[in-house]
Structure 1
């Protein structure tokens, strides 16, 4: 998944106009920029919202749980908004794109006898590694009293290997988002338009030709990407809050992010005038705030480390990467980069390993960033057709199956184990869930292994057999 660029500080709840609300400006000004406001004491100031609307801007939505608003306004209004004592911060809300992940489909998958577990037995080395060849299924396979919230591209809810464990969810993508007219704003539209979320769901809760780590666990899908694989940090934060309100036990984020502790400069593409947007990303990160909200409410959060092969303990590496990704949006960050959510207390951050239990060449790493590792697969030699079997097979859209590789494939294995931990030990706090996962991990005896594997390689059988 493409790393989420810096301090995305905000969230949502639709503005309900009341009798005392002023009349909207007749015309929304062109060339408005998308921004996020966070407020002191998590209390939204209606006076600030009135200023924005009466100045030709738009208040898109609020997230009262996080004391934040998404707005569109002229860059010239930024300093006036910042002058309000109730305003904690004004931050950019850049578009985030789902990173391309290597994927391969072979017609031979459909030639195999279509019986329960046939693809698991033939190809799913990764699930076998985590479950000791399926032995953990006999110890604990999950139930629908424990639910994993998958925040991703949606799901093929009618896939034969998933429909028995699908428990609903919600579409978070706004109507006409990024001029995508296929987005109607229907909250029930969780249909997967790219296949990524369906692959993740199969890794967690597949039960059919393929098997997940927790083949009887319940899951809900929260769609945050449109058909072009666009989203924002604000949409992501909204999904996290919604999943917590829906009483999920575990959240899977096969998405990562970065925060820049320092400054952000927005340069108007027409006037070339620059505006200072942020002073302290660490304090005002909406993404970070949303995850803390989840952990505080007893939800275990698991996130992929990312596929940029970055040493995320090196702040300059992150700063350079972020600036390269947002320069076309007129943004420049100055300061120290940190990986998010890896730096947030209570989040389990997962790197990707290969079939031979070495670290995948694409996986992010870093001392104090990686908590644990899980199979993400890697096709090391693209000229060898047999290398596809070193990738991870799971469910895909349109009732099909696909090989993929990435930390996106590693994180859901840990999310599934977190859910199985709760099934076994009850609704214990996220900190205790993480401890049990770490303690049961297989140690990797290589030089500097903590940089790459954290506590080791995840193992469901070890945990459930105790």
Structure 2
């Protein structure tokens, strides 16, 4: 890997979360778990997906507390002293445990949309005609709309930062959703735990929704499909693996047919140690990180219930098949917080079996300068724009933004929802297909990209809604 690219990755990598748009800055301390000097927040997973009540009693009787339970996943989230870790691990019912890291969004690169001409032109699809090259690329200049544009019997669950529910391009396709951010999360007093509060504080979820289902001045790939929002980030851009996994469960129970995850995390599968700042004692936490397993169980639950899961690949220009190098980044970012990792690190959910992982391409149908890649990691690619040194506003992708506005963005976060929309259109047209059958159709009808080792960058090729629907 070139030295310039390594430096870029070092500055931009968020080990616990890559919120999949190009990053501007990276403050290492902002992305790590803020260690409580008395207690540690843990995720505990049990064997055979059965929560052990005895373990809960051990924690509570020792002065700790059970924060949440995930019966579908056989896991719990708890807060307790680090001294209790060996006792928890000694229970035969415990498969694994892990610190429940706080995931924080980095600053994102996007440009406000400012109209130069016809500022008061609000005709249908005028912005689509003038600016949305990526949507035209995927739909063959809108030809796919005549084959299938979606319906509200098929719903895409957008697990993200929420949505602008009143945006004129989205309002007709918005079918509700759920807020998974708990009351007072991370000291955010604006969070009341209101299950219906899916208002987008950050803009990213609204960007994603527009790529999927906009139907107004802008158009999405599936302009008549139903969308539901599952908000997992507070106004500070913070969440956890347990919140994200619970959102996957909630969306599946609500009957969505497709889940879009325009986010990603790096999770260890190996040995994790944590030094208690009070005692200086190094605690061996486990051989299998529970956060990784939590995502894996949640996605398996979704797929087994007929839900197609699509994920963005991430934007560090990183070869995600190099799992040892990813582990070194874990140690770099979390070493100052007492953590030490030994083993292999995986991009999640992209490496989880059954997930459709999407890389990003530019206007020239080549890999975007920021896109992650990797053999046996990338399944498909889609146009997500570019932000190279020579890129202009024309290389970005126009989509919906909060406050009923529009913005230009670029990232695998833009590419992934294009594939999610195609998956939903395939189901709309062909009926109830399995996730495996949906994925196979997307791969088979992709525009093939020639070249040596092209599959590590593009997977099966660039997705094509028109071909997938023929």
TM-score when normalising by structure 1: 0.91
Distance 1:152 1:463 in 2: 26
Q: Which has the larger displacement, 82-91 or 227-236?
A: 82-91
8 A contact 1:3–1:255 mirrored in 2: no
Q: Which has the larger displacement, 119-128 or 261-270?
A: 261-270
1:32 aligned partner: 39
1:15 aligned partner: none
1:17 aligned partner: none
The reply to whether residue 453 of structure 1 matches residue 453 of structure 2 is no
2:442 aligned partner: 437
Q: What is the alpha-carbon root mean square deviation over aligned residues? A: 1.8
Distance 1:244 1:33 in 2: 30
The reply to whether residue 254 of structure 1 matches residue 262 of structure 2 is yes
Map 1:236-251 to 2 at 5 A. Answer: 236-251=244-259
Distance 1:147 1:391 in 2: 27
Moved over 6 A (4+): none
Map 1:292-303 to 2 at 5 A. Answer: 292-303=300-311
2:78 aligned partner: 71
8 A contact 1:155–1:195 mirrored in 2: yes
1:277 aligned partner: 285
The reply to whether residue 152 of structure 1 matches residue 160 of structure 2 is yes
Q: 1:188 to 1:2 in 2, by over 3 A?
A: farther
Q: Give the CA deviation at 1:278.
A: 1.7
Deviations 1:119-175 (A, max 9, x none): 101110010100011111111000000000000000001100001000010000011
The reply to whether residue 211 of structure 1 matches residue 216 of structure 2 is no
Q: Give the CA deviation at 1:180.
A: 0.6
Q: 1:160 to 1:4 in 2, by over 3 A?
A: farther
8 A contact 1:94–1:329 mirrored in 2: no
1:107 aligned partner: 114
Q: 1:404 to 1:61 in 2, by over 3 A?
A: same
8 A contact 1:4–1:255 mirrored in 2: no
The reply to whether residue 392 of structure 1 matches residue 424 of structure 2 is no
Q: 1:66 to 1:3 in 2, by over 3 A?
A: farther
Q: Give the CA deviation at 1:330.
A: 2.6
Map 1:60-459 to 2 at 5 A. Answer: 60-108=67-115, 111=119, 113-281=121-289, 285-381=293-389, 387-459=392-464
Q: Specify the SS of the correspondent of 2:407.
A: strand
Distance 1:181 1:50 in 2: 30
Q: Specify the SS of the correspondent of 2:210.
A: helix
1:25 aligned partner: none
1:24 aligned partner: none
Distance 1:405 1:325 in 2: 25
Q: Specify the SS of the correspondent of 2:162.
A: coil
Distance 1:232 1:353 in 2: 29
Deviations 1:4-42 (A, max 9, x none): 649xxxxxxxxxxxxxxxxxxxxxx97211101111221
Q: Give the CA deviation at 1:115.
A: 1.2
Gaps of 5+ in 2: 1-11, 18-35
8 A contact 1:2–1:255 mirrored in 2: no
Deviations 1:51-110 (A, max 9, x none): 211212110010000110000111111111111122221211101112333101132278
8 A contact 2:45–2:97 mirrored in 1: yes
8 A contact 2:154–2:257 mirrored in 1: yes
Q: 1:277 to 1:45 in 2, by over 3 A?
A: same
8 A contact 1:143–1:423 mirrored in 2: yes
Distance 1:145 1:357 in 2: 33
Q: 1:329 to 1:291 in 2, by over 3 A?
A: farther
8 A contact 2:100–2:241 mirrored in 1: yes
Count of equivalent residues: 440
Q: Specify the SS of the correspondent of 2:263.
A: coil
8 A contact 1:310–1:317 mirrored in 2: no
Q: Give the CA deviation at 1:327.
A: 3.1
Distance 2:355 2:387 in 1: 28
Q: Specify the SS of the correspondent of 1:197.
A: helix
8 A contact 1:3–1:256 mirrored in 2: no
Q: Give the CA deviation at 1:406.
A: 0.7
Q: Give the CA deviation at 1:350.
A: 0.2
Deviations 1:190-214 (A, max 9, x none): 0000000000000000000110000
8 A contact 2:208–2:414 mirrored in 1: yes
